[in-house]
Copies of this chain bind each other. A is one copy, B any other.
Amino acid sequence: MQKRLIFITNDDGYRSGGIAALIELARPYGNIVVVAPEEGQSGMSSALTIKTPIRLRKVQQEDGLTIYACSGTPVDCVKLAMSQVFERKPDLLLSGINHGSNTAASVIYSGTLGATAEGALYDIPSIGFSLNDHSSTADFTACIPYGRIIIDRALAHPFAKHTFVNVNFPRLPYNEIKGIKLCRQNRGAWVEEFEKRIDPHGNDYYWMTGLFQNHEKEAGDADENAIQDGYIAIVPHQIDMTNYKELERLKEVWKFE
């Protein structure tokens, strides 16, 4: 039987601790090809590089593991890999493990999940992983056995097409994790603050800093709440962002036809 082909990418760059953990996690599942950004690309969402050229270089090749670094965004990595690296469609795309959680509206800003959504657009079963610890030295130990439980389940019972799966791990050691919960996206959002400074030439500039506001403090079925409660949260996200209920209502009240 042909070995599975596993496509790994992320947004923290090919040298991050999180992608090393994901490679270890994925090793038993098949041959791994990593195409990941040269440098950190956090908060790049599904951004594309259109106006500047993109570079790709092979940085490592060993038995069952090939690593490429790409100068572009996470979504560039997926598109360029699908066009120039893979001769057949990968069996699985895994993105992460992100240094920092990606719950609630973070799905909109996250490069990790931008790449995961892109995999779903290519009809590859795609799973994004994030750990609720922003530190560059975050401890991914507990993600490995739990991540394998999730992948085993997804291989045994595949999720729907045009759907991608978002896994968030709490910042807890293995034996303190309470379990795995299927969740919906929490309705909270980031409220940005900006720190205004004056440069040496007398001109203003701003640094973005963010504060997450959880608008649903008691929602045990929402991803952000689940990780705060000590669970691993899994949300199936869809590519189709149509609000169908509102579409039907607006047809009635806006009466264009």
Interface set of A (CB-CB < 8 Å, partner B) = 40, 42-51, 53-56, 73, 75-76, 79-80, 82-84, 105, 107-109, 114, 117, 121, 153-154, 157, 159-160, 162-163, 179-185, 187, 189, 192-194, 196-197, 203-208, 234-244, 246-247, 249-251, 253-254, 256-257
Known: A43-B50, A53-B197, A162-B187. 7 other contacts (CB 8 A): A53-B207, A54-B207, A157-B250, A234-B256, A237-B241, A237-B242, A238-B242
Tell me, rounded to whole Å, the shortest Cβ–Cβ distance linking A128 to chain B. Answer: 12
User: For A56, what are the chain B residues with a Cβ–Cβ distance below 8 Å?
Assistant: 204, 206
How near does chain B come to A9, taking the closest CB pair, in angstroms? 15
| Contact across chains for B105 and A239 when beta carbons are under 8 A apart | yes
- Decide yes or no: A160 and B206 within 8 Å by CB, A45-B45, A47-B45, A185-B241 being known contacts: no
Give Cα distance in the complex from A194 to B85, angstroms. Answer: 11
Q: Is the CB–CB distance between B184 and A244 below 8 Å?
A: yes
Contact between A184 and B235, CB atoms less than 8 A apart: no
Q: Which of B53, B183, B193, B194 contacts A205 (CB 8 A)?
A: B53
Q: B residues within 8 A CB of A109? A: 46-48, 75
Contacts of A181 in B (CB 8 A): 256-257
B254 touches A153 (CB 8 A): yes
Q: Are A182 and B76 in contact (CB under 8 A)?
A: no
30 contacts between A and B (CB under 8 A): A44-B45, A45-B46, A45-B114, A53-B205, A54-B206, A55-B203, A55-B205, A55-B206, A56-B206, A75-B109, A80-B194, A83-B193, A105-B239, A107-B241, A108-B114, A108-B117, A108-B239, A153-B254, A160-B249, A163-B246, A179-B256, A182-B251, A182-B254, A185-B241, A235-B242, A235-B247, A236-B250, A237-B242, A238-B241, A241-B241
